[in-house]
Amino acid sequence: MSAQIPVASPSFLKCSQCSLGKLCLPVGLDTQDMHRLEEIIESAAPYQENEAVYEADQPFKRIYAVKSGMFKTQVSDAQGNEHIVGFHLPGELFGLDAIYPQKYVSTAVALGTASVCAINYSDLEDLSTKLPSLQRQLLSLMSKEVHTSQSMNIDQTAEQKLAAFILTLSSRYKQRGYSDTRFNLLMPRRDIANHLNMAPETISRLFKRFQNEGLIAIQRNDLNILDMDRLQTLAGCSSSC
């Protein structure tokens, strides 16, 4: 089966029952501490396609954990050109880059129907001073963000960039317990192109080339990685990328 985006447990707001607990904030918390975390999580109605969670320059108040679906975060340059800085899968946090400037630096938008857990940051700050495990996980998630954004900046060819992009998604799906060789590309092609700073036509050409070379098979949005080793060699990275 191709990977569907995992959906958090229906008894939402209960980290203890959420299938994403092992990836998200509550890593390392015992049941009692987890309940304290649950108390500061706010509910939010699901977002519809293209609906914004927050917009750039709005004052910072909350960070968000993806519960289901996918979100993208984008920034505008001085000329008003938008650039997609990241795609966020279930169990991943976004809004962390607002902590330092105390305002959101990006706009977060739902790709299709998607939902979040909203966490008031000052409450989280308070709680994390009392719960060392929570503090450790928060720092670890932030460090991961920094790592991801740095690995994006390395000078790569278009082929390498797209191969690395596919592999990153693959490993993130794997962490979530889903197939790392077959999953749906939920973002439109122009968003992938924008994120990787390439023309949309280049993306379709490269996907076709990868397909002709037997690296992947792609039908509609359904991506099937046929030769993981060669894809990794192409991306110029070890299996950890």
Enter the tokens of residue 42. Answer: 């706010």
Distance CA 123, CA 207 (A): 45
Binding residue for other proteins, selected from 11, 150, 153, 219, defined by CB under 8 A: 219
Q: Which is nearer to other proteins, 62 or 176 (CB)?
A: 176
Q: Does 195 bind other proteins (CB under 8 A)?
A: no
Q: Which of 211, 226, 227, 230 binds other proteins (CB under 8 A)?
A: 211
- Alpha-carbon distance of 90 to 68, in angstroms, equals 5
Residues 6+ apart with CB under 8 A from 181: 170, 224, 225, 226, 228
- Pair 105, 55: CB distance under 8 Å: no
Among 17, 189, 228, 230, which residue interacts with other proteins (rule: CB under 8 A)? 189
| Three-state secondary structure call for residue 36 | helix
Question: Considering the rule CB under 8 A, would residue 36 count as an interface residue with other proteins?
Answer: no
Q: Does 192 bind other proteins (CB under 8 A)?
A: yes
Residue 8 CB, nearest approach to other proteins (Å): 19
H-type helices in the chain, by residue range?
Answer: 31-39, 121-130, 132-153, 158-175, 189-196, 200-212, 228-235
List binders of other proteins among 1-30 (CB under 8 A): 1-2, 4
Among 132, 197, 208, 233, contact with other proteins (rule: CB under 8 A): 208
Q: Which residues bind other proteins (CB under 8 A)?
A: 1-2, 4, 182, 185, 188-190, 192, 200-201, 203-205, 207-208, 211, 218-223
